[in-house]
Structure 1
Amino acid sequence: MTAPSPPLAVSSWSLHRTLGLTFPNRPDHDVATPTPQPTYGEGRISLLDMPELVRGLGIDRVEICSFHIANRDPVYLAELRAALAASGITLQTLLVEYGDITNPATAERDLAWIGRWIETAAELGAEQARVIAGKAKHSAETLGRSVVGLRRLARQGETLGVRIVTENWFDFLSTPAEVHSLFYRLDGAVGLNGDFGNWSGPGKYEDLKAIFRIAICCHAKGDFSDGQLDEEDYANCLAAATAAGFRGPYTLIYDGSDPDEIANLAIERDFIRNYFA
């Protein structure tokens, strides 16, 4: 008997050309109503249309990047939450895309900014908020700052009903040893999102296997660098996660050069479903 196909989600990043516009909001530029920027073109849908588009792919979970949210006005957030509900879509994770809690010069400012986005995640009904554990090189000092900051964010998230997760990203968490060093000190307060695309090199699959035993979700980024999905790499990533005991959810991440994001998300979707068939 085969195992059931794992749950799938789609990140708004995988639709960045379809959405086109971004709404710049960072710790050093926290504005009530960001000016929309045609960062990836004018786009052909708004974020409010994304849930129905994802439902058309036969997927019922999404992740949304903070820079895709037009503003944090309660009326707009209520509209977005209603659009998700109308399409039967669960907001799995709000991806808080900026901030460095390991930088002593800006940590307090960034923690406060991230905290406001965790409040937004709660307003939207998100299950999780993904935050950055730190960008500095891993050291005893930066590790200490990250632990203190993540525990603070986790307490806020717990109060609001939002699970805080982070991922194997930037110099701070560039090896399995660094990931485990952090999570050993967090004692379950924060979850791990394992990302297929953040690591590379000859030890990539063993490194992924080493962290996926503690992962609770995954960014399943396919390699389309040659114009089509590298099926061997994708299968090896899935095998590493599965061997570690991970069973999903997998969030489809498409970042290739082909502008047909929907078609390439369908390729990733079908590959994962067939892999577990």
Structure 2
Amino acid sequence: MSYLSVSTWSLHRLLGPLRWTAWDNAQKKHITKLEQQDNVIDLLDLPTILKEKGFAAFELCHFHFPFTDSLYLQRLKKACTDANMRLYTLLLDYGDLSSTDTQRVDADMELIKEWIDIAAEVGAERVRVVAGDAPADDQDALSRVSQYLHELAVYAGQKGVKIITENFRTLSSTSENCLYIVNQSDEQIRLITDFGNMSGAEKYNELARIIPYSDSIHAKPQYDKDGIPDQDEFRRCLDLLKQAHYDGPIVIIYDGPGDMWEGIERTKKIVEDYL
């Protein structure tokens, strides 16, 4: 049975640059300073807030970590455990494994491994690694990236973490390329399918091809200028989950105008019909 999840991207105006966290040496603890806006969220409070709002899991963008030291990671892990909240995926946005610059790729691989270590310590089950910015028809890049992702999957597996990628950015913008990556890894690499990352006449066929190989679904509707979702279009996407007998997390993505919690709730009400 599918269950509710949310990405911290849907709360980025409340978790982003309007707050900062610092180490208070006198009190020997992290202190979060809230500036310029009411209702800004301390990440350590988020698991409890989400549980109270009916979520079972969440995905955490790497740039929303105010600290990555061991003490902070253990505090965040405890916050998730205490709230009975799954930290399903650490979403790593940085890196381009499709680059022909081998020095850049080597550096990116090292950084990704550092984030895998962070994921393992904080209790994240998965790390989302972006395939890259090479053109979708660059078969050489696709082959290289598949090898890099396999290497990362082996490394992550030793830490108790899984590697997934997403139909995000150019190289993995087609179902054909996504499935190539999955098949080359003997399905060690799974997918996030984001409804909003495909468009055009073939959108629904493309989504239908990759949903069966997805561990997570980013349920992103098309919004109007007021942040109101196109229900018919959104339900057409969600119907594909039923057809595929998908039973993982449905992750609400809201990046429209206005109050972010209100935007999340509007989307959540539609998604709840598919749980």
2:202 matched to 1:206?
A: no
2:41 matched to 1:45?
A: yes
CA RMSD in angstroms comes to: 2.4
Letter in structure 2 aligned against 1:143: L
2:139 matched to 1:132?
A: no
Distance in 2, matches of 1:129 and 1:256, equals 25
Task: Give per-residue Cα distances to partners, 1:59-118, cap 9 Å, x unaligned.
Answer: 121110000001211011111111111211110011111100111311111011011001
Equivalent residue, structure 1, for 2:234? 234
Do 1:57 and 1:266's aligned partners in 2 also have CA atoms closer than 8 Å?
no
Distance in 2, matches of 1:133 and 1:42, equals 37
Equivalent residue, structure 2, for 1:167? 166
2:77 matched to 1:78?
A: no
Letter in structure 1 aligned against 2:107: R
- Aligned residues, how many? 260
Do 1:128 and 1:165's aligned partners in 2 also have CA atoms closer than 8 Å?
yes
Distance in 2, matches of 1:265 and 1:247, equals 21
Equivalent residue, structure 2, for 1:115? 113
Paired residue secondary structure (1:171): coil
Segments of 5+ residues of structure 2 without an aligned counterpart are: 20-31
Question: 1:104/1:43 Cα in 2 relative to 1: closer, same or farther (>3 Å)?
Answer: farther
Letter in structure 1 aligned against 2:74: A
Q: How does 1:1-277 map to 2 (within 5 A)?
A: 4=1, 6-21=2-17, 44-105=40-101, 106-138=104-136, 139-227=138-226, 228-258=228-258, 260-276=259-275
How far the C-alpha of 1:141 sits from its partner, in A, is: 1.3
TM-score by length of 2: 0.88
Paired residue secondary structure (1:173): coil
Task: Give per-residue Cα distances to partners, 1:210-255, cap 9 Å, x unaligned.
Answer: 1112112111112223420111111011112322332221111111
Distance in 2, matches of 1:274 and 1:164, equals 29
Distance in 2, matches of 1:230 and 1:79, equals 39
How far the C-alpha of 1:275 sits from its partner, in A, is: 3.8
How far the C-alpha of 1:43 sits from its partner, in A, is: 6.5
Which protein is richer in strand relative to its size?
2
Do 2:18 and 2:40's aligned partners in 1 also have CA atoms closer than 8 Å?
no
Tell which deviates more after alignment, 244-253 or 146-155: 244-253
Equivalent residue, structure 2, for 1:27? none
Task: Give per-residue Cα distances to partners, 1:150-203, cap 9 Å, x unaligned.
Answer: 011100110000111001111101111222222221211211111111111122
Letter in structure 2 aligned against 1:76: Y
Letter in structure 1 aligned against 2:215: I
Do 2:61 and 2:93's aligned partners in 1 also have CA atoms closer than 8 Å?
yes
How far the C-alpha of 1:266 sits from its partner, in A, is: 1.7
How far the C-alpha of 1:143 sits from its partner, in A, is: 1.2
Paired residue secondary structure (1:104): coil
Deviation above 6 Å: which 4+ runs of structure 1? 40-43
Distance in 1, matches of 2:37 and 2:200, equals 33
